[in-house]
Structures are given as structure tokens and as C-alpha cells.
Structure 1
Amino acid sequence: MKFRVLPLLMGSILLSLGLAAQAAPTKPECIAPANPGGGFDLTCRLAQEGLKAAGTLADPMRIVYMPGGIGAVAYNHVIAQKPDDPESIIAFSGGSLLNLAQHKFGKYGVNDVRWLAAVGADYGVAVVRNDSPYKNLKDLMAAFKQDSSKIVLGAGGTVGSQDWMKAALTARAAGVDYRKMRFVAFEGGGDALTALRGGHIQAYMGDAAEAFTMLEGGAPIRLLAVFSEERLPGKLSSVPTAREEGFDIQWPIIRGFYVGPKVADADYQWWVDAFNKMQADASFAAIRDKQGLFPFNKSGADLDKYVKERVADYTKLANEFGLIRQ
């Protein structure tokens, strides 16, 4: 009898400890590595609204702003100061991964955190004026290849940024030396659109969600192609992919979360399960769509694999485009 009671007692204790370790955070927070109002803020709000709507979090999630280096400051802070904190999730984007690939996060790399969940994505897009002579991506690429000096590409980022990379990939796909492309960096999509409407640039290398918002607002633009693997759902389903036009250009801009490197497995799994439940909830699609994002659901080991593959791809591209000093 004694030998039977002891295992049962131990099993109950272990089960209780496991449940305690997997209890919902009592002071959950999402760190947005930027000032309020940007993409990281949007990402945290997705978690804040989505987890609440799915009934996963009983306690409200607060958002903490930690700007600097497109995520570099927050990345270093979490690893060094809060490596085992189960209460905090940190937002990241495709831009964060691109910066990791270019060693812009200091001494830390892609293996120094635990990648948690991706909850949506945007995609690159090539945009021209609606009265442009370029009716499709093939037309633009033919003109670009014939005389690259006559095609000025504009976007909202400087050399090495996601927007610049989209332009560089477009140039390469057209058979043009990226070092010879004419590229103008703007403060944001609004300035780029103004330049496009004024004829100062011939194409705007933007994001699908932003371009869709411009179209909905009556902007005189035409979307030539989206840089996605497949056509996007909804109102942009009529826009072909670059691959359909004969050019293998893909640029997903994912949004998601990670946690510190020493967060316990049980706590990490609690968050994975919470996000899986959130994304399976019927209400989440409307929350995501409201923010202009498209479906992109990966979590746990699946996301970890994806992130590391993307950083490896970005590292290769950054080397090819001379962005990493040897």
C-alpha cells in the first residue's frame, strides 16, 4: 500500500506543479520596440485584443514602449535583463529579422531568444500611377532593363531597409545592377505617394496593406504585383503575384512575438497554446483584417524554423548586396 500511495502522491504533486507553471500570466505585458502608433504598437494591440477576445487572458495586457534600432534595444534588454520572464512577450517584424541578419542587434543573434508566434503578415507590392504606361510588372521591368536611368524607384526606407531590399530585388529580377538603380528614400508612404503622383518617381515599392488603404482613399494608383507566394485574399485577389508575371520576387513582412531565452518550457508552451487558440477563434480574423494584415499563422517550433530560415536568406541577400562588412 505504501508503495502505491507514494507514486500517486508524487504524481499529484507533479501535476499540481505543472498546472501552476502553466497558469496564465497575472501581469501580462507586450513590449513594443518603438514609440506608440507604429507597426510594433499595432502588433502588440493584435495580441492585446485577440487574446482578450479568445478568452485566453483573464488579466488585461499592458503595452510597454521601448524604441530603438527597429527592435535592437528591446532585444538586448530582454536577453540581458529579463531572460526568464514569463509575463513578457516582445513584438518583432520582418524588419527585425533583416536587421538581425545584418548584425545590427549587437552581439546577440537569432538563436538568443525563443520565437513564439506570428499572427499576421503584409507583403511588398509594386505601385505605379493609374495613368502610367506600365500596365503590368512585365512592362515596368522591360522599361527598367532598357534604360534603368529613366526609372526612379521610391520607398519609405534607406539603403539596407526592407523597402530598399524590395527595390534591389526588383532591379535584380529585371537584370539591372542594383548599384545603378535610381532609388529615392522617403519618410513614409504618404511622401512616396506624393512623389509618384507628381511624376518624380515611376514606381513605389510599398506594402500591400498601405497600398490598399491608399486605393480605398481614392488615390490614383495601380498595383502591378504583390511580392507574395500566392495571391492575397479579399479585395486584392485580382492583383497578380510577381511570380505570375515571370519574376521570382517575394517579400513577406511578418509580425509576431518572442520571449526571453530562459523562459521555462511550460510557460513558453502556455503562450504558444494561447496564440493557437486566439488564431483559431472566429473573432480574430476581423481583428487582424482591421489592422490591414493578411493571414500568417505559425507558432512554436514551426515559427522557430521559419525565422531561422528567413534570417539565413536575409544574410545571404545582405552579403550579395554588399550590406554586411566583412
Structure 2
Amino acid sequence: MRKNVLLLETITDEALAVLREHVNVFTGYNDTDLKETLDKEDIHAIITRGKGQINKPLMDACPHLEVAARCGVGLDNVDVAEASARKIMVINAPGSNAATIAEHTLALMLMLIRNMYGSVAQVKQDNWGWRNQYAGDELNGKTLGILGMGNIGKRVARLGEAFGMEVCYWSKSASDLPYQFLSMEAVLQTSDVVSLHLPFNNETNGIIGAAQLGQMKAGALLVNTARGALVDHAALLTALKEKRIAGYAADVLPDEPPVQSLELVHHPKVIVTPHSGSLTATTYKHICMVTINNVVAALTGKGPDPKSIYNRHAIQ
């Protein structure tokens, strides 16, 4: 019997074709669409990307749910604890976005430290004379402090090193790496650029607040391509206004699209991209294909890659 799969968001055409080859595919891209599907179909797997929520009410509506999957790495929009309690397999694509997020992180660092956004904007306004008042610096010779040394943090460290930066880091535990492991306070105090690569959970929510921002160098830059809620944005805005740090660049916000964060977004020392770090053609296709292949394997009895099962220990 072919299993039924619910898509909460679009995926690549190639991944959709693979999915349709093996299972019945239904969509729930909006509330009306979702209700109509749930009223008519018995769902065995749900697939989301970054916005669609796989929560307790949705699981309640799918009593035969076997798989909850996200085409991506972070699982903020999947209730993993609830899924684990129900023995529902949670599938994601660990490590699949490390290269592209690391590239995006370095791009933000360069844009911020070299004031590239301002320079490009001025030239587009026919102000070539901007070069006479240009103020910027370079990454070479600076200290890069990384908070969170997972797959992405390691890649950022290597790229920073290639740019001539001295790398130090703090993580939950030290790793066998050629970089200095320091306390978080020491990383903040010594780094010219601090880059966040921590997962979002109860422990890391608001981990960069007024106290932590106060420990940073006056001319330091903060870069966040992890999760917006890692940073207390009210404290960040105050630190920027008081020039206690020199700039902030991010691909993530606690509210997307920004509403409460609008003042921060429009600050002249802030650069924000629209959570697009993983949306390159190469990575988007790869993330979707990896996830869909593992979902199909789970539903057809072939067994997905064990590394893709986020809660494999909880459901055994």
C-alpha cells in the first residue's frame, strides 16, 4: 500500500518527482488546503522546510503519522519531544548546509568590515566621491571568535584562517582542533569578529545579551547566521546606538519578516539578509533530495540513513 505524505511547503521539482514515484503526495500550503487534506486523507509522513509547523495539534490530526521531516538542519519548527513520545521518526539533513552557511557568514563579515553595502549603494547613486570618506578595514590579522564549533563553525574557522585570521572558539565542549578553546567571556573579550553558530534551545535563547555585548571590544563586529533569538535584540540595538560594538550582520531574525526588529534592521551599522543563506540552487536541491530520499526509505521499509534520524535513540 502506498503511504500518504503531506507537504507543508514547496520542495524542488526533482525531489517532488522522487516523492511522487513512491508515495501519494498531498499539500497543506495554507490553512484551507491543510484542513481539506486532513479531512480526507490518512497521513503517514509530514515534510516541512523552515516555516510549516509540525506540532502537537497537527500530530493529533494524523494518528497514523510515522515520519516528521524537515528539509534542513535546525528543527525549531518540529516538536521533537512530542514526536519522540509518540515514536514518530524525526528526519532532517544534518550537515547539508554547512558549506553554504559558512560562505554566507564570511560574505557578511566582509560586507560589514569593508563597508561594502554602503560603497555599492553610493556608487549606484552616482557618488564616486564616497571613496574620499570611505571607512573600512580588513579581516586579515583580526581575531575571529566562534561560538558553537559544529559543522558550520568548523568551516567558518577554516575560511577565517584562510583570510589570515587568528581563530579562537567556545563550545559546549572542547574538540581536537587547531584553534584555541576559551571561555565564552574570553572569546568575547579578545575577538574582533564574533560569529554565532549555536543551536537554538532553552539554554541558548538570548545567550548574547547586554552583559555579553558589554564584554566585547568597542570596535568588534557580531555576525549571526544561526538563529535570531540567540541575541537579545533590544540590548543589541542599545549597544549599537551607544557604539559599544561597531556593527552587526545577520541572516536571521527572531521575527521574520521583521516587525519588532525593524529599527535594528534599518540601523546604519546593521546588514541583514532575508534568511537566504541556504537558498542557493546547489544547497536547496541537495537538502530537498537528501530529505526526500530518507523519507521514502523510511516509508518503504528500506531504512533511512541513521544519521538523518534526529531522534533515533528516543524511538528505539
For the criterion TM > 0.5, the same-fold answer is no
Asked which structure has the greater RCO (Cα within 8 Å, sep 6+), the reply is 1
Bigger fraction of residues in helix: 1
Structure-1-length-normalised TM-score = 0.27
Structure-2-length-normalised TM-score = 0.28
